[in-house]
Amino acid sequence: MANSASGMAVHDECKLKFLELKAKRNHRFIVFKIDEKIQQVTVEKVGSPEETYDDFTACMPPDECRYAVFDFDFTTDENCQKSKIFFIAWSPDTSRVRSKMLYASSKDRFKRELDGIQVELQATDPSEMSMDIIKARAL
């Protein structure tokens, strides 16, 4: 079902992989991209549970927009193990204006397809999604 505002469809694999991350914890992260030719959000990369946040950030292209979800495990001040699922809208300043507009106009609709996101983050450069920011937003 395409979105009338942006005309963007969401590939079933996006929802499937997200459910695997959320329910089964098979994945540490998922990077999504918009395939402009077919007007659809697709899965670009899936990170295994062993991969780190650094592995995840290395997957973000320096001059192209992406959506991503990251399953962040952490320990609270009370020594409780917790995890939060982050939705990250990656829109670097160096990406094409058309691409930034497309990702911005499709974001809310795509996010609604992924039920269970706990924290949203918008980043235009790596410093805006540093581990310190992730930790601060998780608590």
Q: How far apart are CA 101 and CA 18, in angstroms?
A: 24
Report, in this order, helix, strand and coil percent for the chain, each rounded to 5.
Answer: 35, 30, 35
Starting at the earlier edge strand, list the strands of the sheet with 40-47: 9-10, 40-47, 29-35, 66-75, 81-90, 119-123
Neighbouring C-beta atoms of residue 132, cutoff 10 Å: 9
Convert the pLDDT of each residue in 54-106 to its tens digit: 999 999 999 999 999 999 999 988 999 999 999 999 999 999 999 999 999 99
- pLDDT attached to residue 129: 97
